[in-house]
Amino acid sequence: MANVQLVENLRRLREEHNYTQLQVSSRLNISRQAYSNYETGKRVPDLDTLIRLADIYQVTLEQLLTQVCSKNSVAGESKGPYVPGMIIKTGDTVYLSDEEFSVLQHYRSASSDDRHLVRKVLNIVFPPDPDPKK
């Protein structure tokens, strides 16, 4: 089961540091393909590899796994807790701030018109709402 935040952070941090997948994989003493699998969520790094990745990018293990990381900062709240969630279709794990979780809860209880408006504002294209009575 992939951690969506980790997958995004690995790619973002590597690109911001101007590293290639080969350079990072060499530092980890693994193949480029093995590292590529981490960035695509096909495989999950073991704890030792996660610790080494956090060290390479100078972030904490918690930041790497649960927060939006970039080269110069960690975005989002420094306080926890983050609410873990699972993407049902893929089984991937995603960590949400209290604010993000609240937005999702409100979206679920919104009317079909309000959901449509939210998708339009955020420029998100989804299939039509299956339950237009909400």
- pLDDT for 71-113, tens place per residue? 766 655 444 456 667 677 777 777 777 787 788 888 888 898 9
Reported pTM:
0.60
Give me the residue spans of the domains in the chain: 4-75, 97-121
Neighbours of 9 (CB within 10 A): 25
Helix (H, G, I), strand (E, B) or coil at 63: helix
Nearest alpha carbon to residue 85 among 71, 103, 69, 70: 103
From 3.40.50.720, 1.10.260.40, 1.20.1600.10, 3.40.50.300, which CATH number describes the 4-75 domain?
A: 1.10.260.40
